[in-house]
Amino acid sequence: MQYKMNLRRYRQNQSVRDTFSTVNLSSKNLIQPYFVYEDLAEREELPSIAGQYKHNLESLKKEVAYGLTQGVSSVLLFFIPKSKQKCNFDHDFDCSVISGLKEEFGDRITIFTDMCLCSQTDTGHCGIVEEGRVVNHKSVLELVKKSVAHARAGSDCISPSDMMDDRILAIREALDENGFDQTMIMSYSTKFSSSFYGPFRDAAESTPDSGDRKSYQIDYRNESDAMLASLRDMEQGADILMVKPAGAYLDILYRIKHHEVMKDYPLAAYQVSGEYQSLHMMEQNNLINFNDALLESLYAIRRSGADLIITYGANNYKKIAGER
Ligand code: PBG
C-alpha cells in the first residue's frame, strides 16, 4: 500500500459516494411487525413504540396494503388475545386474522406469525409455569399445536420466539405430518435476555408477573450458548436463523454469518422495540435526526451479515432512503 492515500476522492459528493457503496439494503429485505388485538373497535396508537398501532383486522389490512406500495411484502404478526390462560390455549383469534389477511392478499404477502405463549399466559411467561418454573416439554406441545393451527390458517412462516429447547424439531415434524411441508420456520434462534424489549412488552401485554426470562433467553455473556443455539436450530430444520436484538449484538451476527457451517443460511436480525424507540426519543430531545439514525443503524445490521431485517421502520424505509 502507498504511504500516501487520498481516500477523500471516494467521498467528494453524493454521486461518487453512491457509486462506491459496497452494501445495499432494499425494502424487499425488511419485515414489518404488527400488533393485532382481539375485540378492538378501531386502531389505536401505541404509546410505547413510535408510529406503531394496536390493530384490528380491518386496520391491519390497510396498513399491509400501504406496506406493499412501499415494497414491503413480509409482515410479522403478534396477537394479543383478550383473556389470559394457564394452558389449553385457544387460537381462534390468531387464525381468523391470518386467514383474513391471506384472503385479502394471497401470495402477494408473506405472513410470518410469532410463535410464543407470552401474550396468552396468565403469568406473562413464554411457556407454561409449574411450581414456579417454566417447563419445557409441555410448553413445546402447546407451541406445536399453535404452529399447526397457524399453518392451517395460512401462515407462511412460523416464527418461534419462546426459547424452549428443541421446539424447532417438534414443530417441523408436526408441520410435515399435517401436510404443511411448504410452511417455513424462522427461528428466533439466538435470542438474548435483553432490556431492549421493554417497549414491546408494554405493547404486547407480556411482562412476566414474577421473575424474568433469564432461565430461557440467552445470557449475553455466553457466546458459546449464542452460537450453539443457532447451530442447533439450523440442524433441527429452521429455514431462517435470527439474532435478536440486533444493534448490541452485531459481533454475534457477524460470527454466525461467517461460521463454517451456518454461513449460507438465511440470517435475520431483529431491530427490537428498545433500539428503535431510543432513536425516536433522542430525536424528541433534539439530539439526532431519526431518519438518518435509522438508516445508519439498519446499514450497520446489514453490513454485519443480516440477510433480512425486522424493523418497526420497514414501511417507511423506502421513503426515507429515497430522500437521501
Ligand atoms: C416474546 C417476544 C418479545 C419480542 C418479540 N417476541 C419480547 C420478549 O421476549 O420479552 C421483542 C420484540 C421487540 O422488543 O421489539 N415472545
Torsion of CA 108, 68, 205, 233, to 10 degrees: 50
Cβ of 34 below 6 Å from ligand 1: no
How many helices (DSSP H) and strands (DSSP E) are in the chain?
A: 11, 13
CA distance 240 to 211: 30
Rounded distance, CA 6 to CA 275, Å?
36
Name residue 265's amino acid: Y
Q: Looking at per-residue confidence, does 206 or 154 come out higher?
A: 154
The protein residue with its alpha carbon nearest to ligand 1, atom 10, reads 197
Closest atom of ligand 1 to CA, residue 200: 14
**What pLDDT does 290 receive?**
98
Query: pLDDT digits over 212-250, tens only?
Result: 899 899 999 999 999 999 999 999 999 999 999 999 999
Q: Which atom belonging to ligand 1 lies closest to the Cα atom of 162?
A: 16
Q: Is the CB of 197 under 6 A from ligand 1?
A: yes
The mean pLDDT of 27-52, rounded to a whole number, is 96
186 lines ligand 1 (CB under 6 A): no
Atom of ligand 1 nearest to the CA of 271: 15
β strands within the chain, DSSP E: 30-37, 44-45, 53-55, 74-80, 110-115, 128-130, 133-135, 157-160, 184-185, 190-191, 241-244, 267-270, 308-310
Predicted structure pTM score: 0.96
How many Å lie between the centroid of ligand 1 and the Cα of residue 38? Answer: 19
Report pLDDT for 202.
83
User: What is the distance in A from the centroid of ligand 1 to the CA of 276?
Assistant: 13
| Full DSSP string of 16-54 | HHHHT------GGGEEEEEEEETT-SS-EE-SSSTT-EE
- The active-site residue, picked from 146, 191, 257, 318, is 191
**If you take atom 11 of ligand 1, which residue's CA is the nearest one?**
197
Q: How far does residue 201's CA lie from ligand 1's centre (Å)?
A: 7
* Phi, psi dihedral angles at 33 (to 5 degrees): -80, 150
Cell of 46: 401505541
Which phi and psi (to 5°) does residue 61 adopt? Answer: -60, -45
206 contacts: CB under 8 Å, gap ≥ 6? 118, 119, 124, 200
Of 48, 161, 187, best ligand 1 pocket probe by most atoms within 8 Å of the beta carbon: 161
pLDDT tens per residue across span 275-291: 999 999 999 999 999 99
- Is the Cβ atom of 46 under 6 angstroms away from ligand 1? no
The best mutation among 94, 113, 206 to test binding of ligand 1, ranked by most ligand atoms within 8 Å of the C-beta, falls on 206
**Ligand 1 lined by 218 (C-beta under 6 Å):** no
The residue-averaged pLDDT of 73-86 equals: 92
CA of 123 to the centre of ligand 1 (A): 15
Q: Are 312 and 52 in contact (CB under 8 A)?
A: yes
What is the predicted pLDDT for the residue at 205?
Answer: 75
Question: What's the rounded mean pLDDT across residues 197-224?
Answer: 88
Q: How far is the CA of 64 from the centre of ligand 1 (A)?
A: 21
| 201: enclosing H helix or E strand | helix 198-204
CA 248 vs. chain centroid, Å, equals 15
Predicted pLDDT at 252: 98
Query: What is the percent of the chain where pLDDT is above 90?
Result: 85
Question: Ligand 1 centre from 162 Cα, in Å?
Answer: 9
- Closest Cα to residue 128, out of 172, 88, 165? 88
Which has the closest alpha carbon to 95: 58, 124, 41, 57? 57
Q: Which of 86, 102, 146, 244 is catalytic?
A: 244
191 a catalytic residue: yes
